[in-house]
């Protein structure tokens, strides 16, 4: 029933007040007092009373918010502190509600007629308190569905506020039930690998090229040093004999070695080309696939997803993420293998050549790596800073491009340039910082490397000249291998961050791919190819945020084939209402039925086909006029398109454009006026031939004359369809069979034109006002 | 004005006048000060207002510029759903001390925002940042979303942080934090 757990002391206190756990209908924690201090408390509801439990603030307590341990309230179990309890009989309590302040809320009620602050809570408990408040509402005003519903409280979304069963962390995002902390990086890794699977053939070729290059690179110092100097140039006959060359023919031997060396170089070059070509092929394919799956998923997500995130930045981020992930996999993974091999083989070779010098080298490696690891985090934050600077430059450019007209109209170009300069300079500074630090690192590296090299030479020369322990070729080979170490050392100091970065990107990508659309099709959807079009709203409540309801317990019935007009001031909830009918959002409470079937159960395909909306925000896609009109119905004949355009009064202006129905419109084409766009959208809706037509301020930006023309076609159109029309201009609604006035999320007036006129309420007032305005014009 | 007298004998002109009056009312800046307004604490913890012959058993006290000018331009509004403006206090300091305190108490709760005094740790993981801080209201641990606009720069040195539930935290001057703490915050600056 309630997931609230009480400390022992509170349980005892409640039972002193005759509240037993089984009587509790709803409960919530609270965490503040009216003095703006954090103080633990509870609100507990039974069918008869409401108990408010409070305690004194404890300065030593750590206050944990969402995202931290489930510790919240549970650990309190053992904490003994003085709890106080106030009991309010529900009979004496009225208008219980949570008042949202800026970042916290107050629970307010009229007790014996006086408005009282019962308790204060942060947004952490917003949902739970809301649940308590709604339960009280249901107790006080039993819904027509029956009293037994009252105890249940609003259906709590199972997706909400769940904890990770492994580490006890709350999921920071309820749409994604994967604990970010427990999510196995290895599993992300494996999932990303999945994207590479289709290209396994290419990958094998690429890897072979990689390994071959690495192998040849390792052989190179040997050829260059040991063989060239110590065998051929030292005139070693034994060596020649091994290759079947006669004694003394050192020129032939030299030629052979040089040829081999040349071949090795050429092969390395060829392998490099092969490697590059295949890498490019694989990367582009995988990036494309990833982007495709992100785009696909984005299409599936509900409107609320796009409301809650900055879509633009999200999109760019994800798009560049795909590249970053792939980059690591294609460069990082094979390189890890190659570099480890190179490192091991080089070391082995060094030891086999000369252990004294080798042991000298082996001490330097950890030192070099340490410096690398130490400096990387700094570069890391610098990259982050650059990313943010880049983002602000980008968003400002975006802002100014969209608002170009306003900037020009108010003559603010120079100030915008200044603002841009500021951001741009920040980006420059960030960029410079990275380059400087990177160069410092690089500089330090090469100094260390050079010092190491020189030391090796000194030791080597000493060994050759003084001790005669080694030969020149050995030294050259050895330094060759020291040179081979440079790559792996550099690489390994970078790989950890690279790996983390790539995994983070991957995680962000999967975050979107795994998001569960809030609006989902029912498991066994009801097929409804041609509904009659009767719409019922039963006790529908909805808000974009908890605690701030936009629609409150609406009840409404729209008969099949009739036209409903909705009137109300802006922000009253009209658009929200129609959004619920077309299932852009689901109501938090109550039901919406079409032909007696809950819209939640209707198959998406049928719902979308039968409910068409012309909204106040018109959108024209890139493409031709014809494509735009036939958007929902690409197979429509030319005749159908023309008829729809005519009905929407769009035909004439379309024909005035040079390319007629083939004129390219949308963001890359010809610019249309607001009224023209609206008429195209109306034509689009007409062509989709829906059973239920929703017109949300569909004719708000056309002139009165055009509106009359569209009006006529709409009156022709609405025959046999259920139509819901929202309008500020009452003349638009003159064909409506039934009208409702919505104010503050409630239906305040309803009836036919005549009935509403007689009621002399808001509708009448609006009518008078518009009549006057028209009269003034005349 | 032709064609409007068919309205069942209703007196149009009176109605129009009333509407104009309402509009006028809406456009007017009505200032409240110690001479024309009496604020009092209510039993339930709210504030009541008497001004002229109007009486409100409960009013809301709302800042117009909560960040940049918290003491000036304070809107006094009705406490119902519509929340209509009753009047404006130009400068809260001009009110009697007691009254100013009363209103400030209301606003303190409305704009409740703990001030971060010390940053113990910030961990950035998988698109969320986990904060472990000390505020003037005690130690707090909260989580913010890295993707959105959770960290807002109110000025070059002042930042406002909103957690995943939109609980607010503020750092009035980042320069007052230690270099080490600023480094932890670096990600957001």
Sign of CA dihedral B127, B130, B131, B137: positive
Q: Which burial class, exposed, middle or buried, applies to A424 when counting CB atoms under 10 A from its CB (0-12, 13-18, 19+)?
A: middle
| Pairwise CB contact (< 8 Å): A67 & B130 | yes
Task: pLDDT band for B183, please (50, 70, 90 cuts).
Answer: confident
- A70 at B interface, C-beta within 8 A: no
Residue A362 belongs to a domain: no
The number of C-beta contacts closer than 8 angstroms across A and B is 156
- The pLDDT assigned to B16 comes to 66
- CA–CA dist A228, A249 (Å, integer): 14
Mean pLDDT score across all residues of chain A: 80
Nearest to A381 among B19, B81, B187 (CB): B187
Chain A residues in contact with B149 (beta carbon < 8 A)? 310
Centre a 10 Å sphere on the Cβ of residue A383 and count the other Cβ atoms it contains: 15
Please tell me if residue A313 touches chain B, with a CB cutoff of 8 Å. yes
- Least Cα separation, residue A310 to chain B (angstroms): 7
Task: Looking at the complex, report in whole angstroms how far the Cα of residue B136 sits from the nearest Cα belonging to chain A.
Answer: 9
Q: Which residues of chain A are within 8 Å of residue B143 when distances are taken between CB atoms?
A: 65-68, 172
**Secondary structure letter of residue A467 according to DSSP:** I
Residues A695 and A634 in one domain: yes
- Give me the CATH number covering residue A586: 3.40.50.300
Shortest alpha-carbon distance between residue B43 and chain A (Å): 8
What is the rounded distance in angstroms from the CA atom of residue A630 to the CA atom of residue A640? 9
Quick one: A279 and A140 in the same domain?
A: no
> Who among A37, A67, A313 is closest to B143 (CB)?
A67
Q: Is residue B101 part of a domain?
A: yes
In whole angstroms, how large is the CA radius of gyration of chain B? 23
Of the residues A52, A102, A769, A778, the best mutation for testing chain B's interface (the one with the most B CB atoms within 10 Å of its CB) is: A102
Considering only CB atoms, which chain A residues are within 8 Å of B129? none
Residue B140 lies in a domain: yes
- Judgement on whether residues B87 and B20 belong to the same structural domain of the protein: yes
What interface predicted TM-score (ipTM) does this complex get?
0.85
Domain membership of residue A719 (yes or no) is yes
Q: Which residues of chain B lie closer than 8 angstroms to A183, CB-CB?
A: 126
Q: In terms of domains, do B30 and B105 share one?
A: yes
pLDDT of residue B150: 84
Of how many residues is chain B composed? 189
Give residue B179's pLDDT band: very low, low, confident or very high (50, 70, 90).
confident
The whole-number pLDDT of residue A161 equals 52
The pLDDT tens digits for A140-166 are 877 655 444 444 444 444 444 556 666
- Say yes or no: A197 and A299 in one domain: yes
Q: Identify whether B2 is part of a domain.
A: no
Q: Which of A111, A136, A152 corresponds to the end of one domain? A: A152
The pLDDT value recorded for residue A25 is: 86
User: Does the beta carbon of A434 lie under 8 angstroms from any beta carbon of chain B?
Assistant: no
In terms of CA atoms, which chain B residue is nearest residue A64? B141
Residue A68: how many other CB atoms lie within 10 Å: 21
Give the separation between CA A235 and CA A253, rounded to whole angstroms: 9
Taking only the tens place, the pLDDT of each residue in A437-461 is 878 877 877 787 788 888 888 888 8
Within a domain: B145:
yes
What pLDDT score does B10 carry? Answer: 44
Mean pLDDT by 10 residues, chain A (778 residues): 67 83 85 86 88 84 75 57 85 86 88 87 87 85 54 44 59 58 67 86 87 83 76 74 74 82 88 86 86 82 68 66 80 80 84 81 76 70 77 81 84 87 89 83 78 84 82 82 80 73 77 75 83 88 79 88 86 86 86 89 86 82 88 87 88 87 79 84 86 84 77 74 85 83 87 85 81 65
Q: Among B70, B86, B110, identify where a domain stops.
A: B110
Neighbours of A408 (CB within 10 A): 10
- Polymer length of chain A: 778
**Do residues B105 and B151 both lie within one domain?**
no
Name A534's bridge partners: none
**A743 is written with which tokens?**
């104010």
pLDDT higher than threshold 50 for residue B9: no
Higher pLDDT pick, A91 / B14: A91
pTM of the full structure: 0.70
Q: Which domain holds residue A403?
A: 378-466
pLDDT score, position A390: 81
Pairing of strands B151-153, B159-162: antiparallel
Compute the distance between CA of residue B153 and CA of residue A149 in angstroms, rounded to an integer.
47
A337 and A323 assigned to the same domain:
yes
Pair B16, B104 in one domain: yes
Specify if B104 maps to a domain: yes
Same domain, B142 and B88: no
Are B125 and B93 in a shared domain? no
Name which of B42, B66, B167 is nearest A123 (Cβ-Cβ). B167
End-to-end CA distance of chain A: 64
Same domain, A125 and A218: no
A78 and A214 together in one domain? no
pLDDT of residue B11: 44
Same domain flag for A395 and A317: no
Q: Residue A48: its pLDDT value, please?
A: 85
Q: Are residues B122 and B92 in the same domain?
A: no
Of B110, B134, B154, the last residue of a domain is B110
Q: Are residues A220 and A279 in the same domain?
A: yes
Question: In chain B, which residues have their Cβ closer than 8 Å to the Cβ of A771?
Answer: 4
Do B101 and B62 share a structural domain? yes
CA distance B36 to chain A (A): 25
Facing A68 at nearest CB: one of B126, B141, B167 = B141
3-state secondary structure A496-521: HHHHHHHHHHHHHHHHHHHCCCCCCC
Statement to judge: residues B93 and B23 lie in one domain: yes
Domain end residue (candidates: A110, A137, A152): A152
Among the partner-chain residues B108, B138, B166, the one whose CB lies closest to the CB of A59 is: B138
What residue in A sits closest to B161 (Cα-Cα)? A103
Whether B19 maps to a domain, the answer reads: yes
- The verdict on residue A525 lying in a domain is no
Query: Nearest CA to CA, how far is B56 from chain A (Å)?
Result: 12
What is the tens place of the pLDDT at every residue in A11-51?
888 888 888 888 888 888 888 888 888 888 889 888 888 88
Domain end residue (candidates: B56, B77, B110): B110
B124: nearest CA in chain A? A504
For the stretch B117-151, pLDDT in tens is 999 988 877 667 889 999 998 889 898 887 667 88
Domain of residue B136, residue span: 116-188
Query: CA of A771: which chain B residue's CA is closest?
Result: B4
Contact check, Cβ <8 Å, B109/A772: no
Answer whether A507 sits within 8 Å of B45, measured CB to CB: no
pLDDT at residue number A664: 86
> Are A577 and A726 found together in one domain?
yes
Task: Say if residue B57 is in the same domain as residue B80.
Answer: yes
Query: Residues of chain A with pLDDT > 90: what percent?
Result: 1
Task: Select from A111, A309, A771 the Cβ nearest to the Cβ of B147.
Answer: A309
Residue A385: list chain B partners with CB under 8 A.
186, 189
A117 to chain B, any CB pair closer than 8 A? The answer is: yes
Report the percentage of chain A scoring pLDDT > 70.
88
Residues of chain A contacting B130 with CB distance shorter than 8 Å: 67-68
**Closest Cα in chain A, distance from residue B94 (Å):** 24
CA distance B47 to chain A (A): 11
B20 and B36 part of one domain: yes
Radius of gyration of chain A (CA): 37
CB A291 within 8 Å of CB A326:
no
Judge: B109–A106 Cβ closer than 8 Å, yes or no.
yes
What is the pLDDT at residue B25?
73
Using 50, 70 and 90 to split pLDDT, how confident is the model at B169?
Answer: very high
Q: Which one of B12, B15, B163 has the shortest CB-CB distance to A65?
A: B163
What CATH number did the domain enclosing A95 receive?
2.30.29.30
Say whether both A137 and A40 belong to one domain: yes
Contact across the interface for B163 and A66, Cβ inside 8 Å:
yes
Kindly identify which residue of chain B lies nearest to residue A173, measuring between CA atoms: B164
In a domain, A524, yes or no: no
Count how many domains chain B has.
2
Residue A522: inside a domain: no
Are A66 and B1 an interchain contact pair (Cβ–Cβ within 8 Å)? Answer: no
Q: Which of A102, A159, A168, A100 is nearest to A129 (CA)?
A: A100
In total, how many domains does chain A have? 4
Which residues 6+ apart lie within 8 Å of A197 measured at CB? none
Assess if residue B121 is contained within a domain.
Answer: yes
CATH of residue A500's domain is: 1.20.1560.10
A768 and A728 inside one domain? yes
Q: Does residue B29 sit in the same domain as residue B94? A: yes
Residue B56 within a domain: yes
For the sheet containing B138-145, what is the strand order? A63-64, B138-145, B128-135, B116-125
- Confidence category of residue B171, pLDDT binned at 50, 70, 90: very high
In a shared domain, residues A484 and A444: no
Between chains, do B15 and A507 touch, taking CB under 8 Å as contact? no
Classify A164 as helix, strand or coil. coil
Contacts of A476 (CB under 8 A, 6+ apart): A221, A224, A225, A229
Name the residue in chain A with its Cα closest to that of B57: A115
Q: Does residue A331 sit within a domain? A: yes
Query: Shortest Cα distance from A636 to chain B (angstroms)?
Result: 42
Query: Does residue A317 sit at the B interface (CB-CB below 8 Å)?
Result: yes
């Amino acid at each position: 029933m309630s997931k609230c757990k009480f400390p022992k002391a509170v349980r005892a206190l409640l039972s002193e007040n005759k509240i037993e756990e089984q009587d509790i209908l709803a409960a919530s924690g609270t965490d503040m007092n009216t003095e703006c201090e954090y103080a633990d408390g509870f609100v507990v509801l039974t069918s008869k009373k409401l108990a408010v439990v409070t305690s004194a603030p404890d300065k030593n307590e750590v206050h944990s918010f969402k995202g931290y341990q489930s510790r919240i309230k549970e650990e309190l179990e053992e904490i003994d502190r003085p709890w106080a309890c106030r009991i309010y009989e529900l009979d004496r309590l009225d208008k219980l509600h949570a008042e949202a302040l800026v970042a916290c809320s107050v629970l307010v009620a009229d007790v014996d007629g006086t408005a009282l602050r019962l308790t204060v809570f942060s947004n952490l408990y917003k949902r739970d308190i809301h649940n308590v408040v709604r339960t009280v509402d249901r107790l006080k005003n039993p819904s027509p569905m029956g009293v037994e519903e009252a105890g249940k409280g609003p259906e709590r979304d199972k997706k909400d506020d769940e904890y990770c069963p492994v580490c006890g962390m709350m999921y920071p995002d309820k749409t994604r039930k994967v604990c970010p902390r427990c999510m196995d990086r290895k599993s992300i890794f494996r999932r990303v690998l999945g994207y590479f699977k289709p290209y396994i053939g290419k990958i094998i070729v690429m890897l072979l090229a990689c390994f071959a290059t690495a192998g040849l690179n390792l052989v190179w110092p040997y050829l260059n040093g040991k063989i060239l100097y110590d065998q051929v140039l030292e005139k070693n006959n034994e060596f020649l004999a091994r290759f079947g060359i006669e004694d003394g023919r050192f020129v032939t031997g030299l030629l052979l070695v040089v040829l081999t060396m040349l071949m090795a170089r050429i092969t390395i070059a060829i392998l490099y080309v092969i490697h590059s070509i295949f890498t490019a092929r694989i990367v582009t394919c995988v990036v494309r696939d990833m982007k495709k799956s992100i785009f696909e998923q984005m299409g599936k997500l509900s409107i609320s997803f796009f409301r809650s995130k900055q879509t633009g930045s999200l999109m760019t981020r994800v798009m560049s993420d795909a590249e970053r992930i792939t980059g690591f996999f294609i460069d990082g993974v094979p390189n890890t293998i190659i570099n480890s091999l190179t490192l091991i083989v080089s070391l082995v070779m060094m030891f086999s050549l000369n252990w004294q010098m080798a042991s000298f080298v082996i001490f330097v490696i950890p030192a070099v790596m340490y410096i690398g690891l130490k400096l990387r985090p700094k570069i890391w934050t610098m990259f982050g800073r650059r990313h943010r600077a880049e983002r602000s430059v980008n968003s400002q450019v975006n802002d100014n491009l969209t608002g170009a007209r306003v900037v020009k109209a108010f003559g603010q170009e120079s100030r915008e340039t200044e603002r841009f300069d500021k951001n741009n300079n920040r980006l420059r500074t960030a960029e410079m910082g990275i380059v400087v630090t990177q160069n410092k690192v690089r500089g330090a590296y090469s100094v260390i490397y050079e010092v190491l090299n020189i030391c090796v030479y000194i030791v080597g020369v000493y060994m050759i000249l003084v001790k005669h322990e080694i030969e020149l070729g050995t030294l050259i080979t050895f330094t060759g291998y020291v040179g081979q170490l440079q790559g792996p050392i550099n690489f390994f100091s970078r790989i950890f961050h690279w790996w983390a970065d790539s995994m983070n990107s991957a995680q962000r990508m999967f975050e979107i791919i795994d998001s569960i659309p809030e609006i989902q099709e029912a498991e066994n959807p009801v097929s409804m190819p041609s509904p009659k079009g009767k719409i019922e709203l039963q006790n529908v409540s909805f808000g974009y945020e908890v605690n701030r309801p936009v629609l409150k317990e609406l009840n409404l019935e729209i008969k099949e084939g009739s036209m409903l007009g909705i009137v109300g001031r802006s922000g009253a909830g009209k658009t929200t209402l129609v959004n619920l009918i077309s299932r852009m959002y689901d109501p938090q409470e109550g039901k919406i039925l079409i032909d007696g079937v809950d819209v939640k159960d209707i198959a998406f395909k049928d719902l979308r086909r039968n409910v068409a909306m012309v909204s106040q925000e018109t959108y024209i896609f890139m493409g031709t006029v014809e494509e735009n009109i036939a958007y929902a119905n690409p197979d429509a004949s030319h005749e159908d398109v023309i008829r729809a355009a005519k009905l929407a009064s769009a035909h004439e202006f379309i024909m005035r454009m040079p390319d007629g129905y083939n004129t390219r419109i949308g963001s890359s084409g010809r610019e249309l006026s607001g009224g023209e766009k609206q008429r195209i959208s109306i034509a689009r809706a007409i062509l989709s031939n829906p059973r239920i037509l929703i017109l949300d301020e569909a004719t708000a930006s056309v002139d009165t004359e055009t509106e009359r023309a569209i009006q006529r076609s709409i009156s022709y159109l609405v025959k046999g369809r259920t139509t819901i029309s929202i309008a500020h201009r009452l003349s638009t609604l003159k064909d409506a069979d039934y009208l409702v006035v919505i104010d503050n999320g409630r239906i305040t007036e309803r009836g036919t034109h005549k009935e509403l006129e007689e009621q002399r309420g808001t509708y009448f007032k609006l009518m008078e006002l518009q009549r006057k305005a028209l009269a003034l014009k005349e | 004005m032709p064609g409007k007298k068919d309205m069942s004998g209703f007196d149009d002109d009176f109605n129009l006048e009333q509407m104009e009056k309402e509009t006028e009312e809406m456009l007017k800046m009505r200032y409240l000060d110690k001479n024309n307004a009496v604020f009092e604490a209510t039993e339930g913890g709210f504030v009541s207002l008497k001004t002229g012959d109007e009486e409100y058993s409960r009013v809301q006290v709302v800042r117009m510029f909560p960040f940049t000018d918290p003491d000036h331009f304070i809107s006094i509004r009705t406490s119902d759903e519509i929340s209509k403006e009753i009047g404006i206090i130009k400068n809260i300091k001009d009110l009697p001390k007691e009254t100013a305190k009363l209103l400030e108490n209301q606003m303190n709760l409305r704009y409740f925002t703990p001030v971060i005094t010390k940053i113990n740790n910030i961990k950035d993981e998988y698109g969320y940042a986990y904060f472990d801080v000390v505020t003037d209201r005690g130690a707090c641990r909260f989580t913010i979303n890295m993707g959105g606009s959770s960290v807002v720069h109110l000025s070059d040195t002042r930042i406002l942080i909103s957690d995943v539930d939109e609980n607010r935290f503020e750092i009035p001057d980042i320069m007052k934090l230690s270099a080490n703490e600023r480094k932890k915050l670096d990600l957001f600056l």
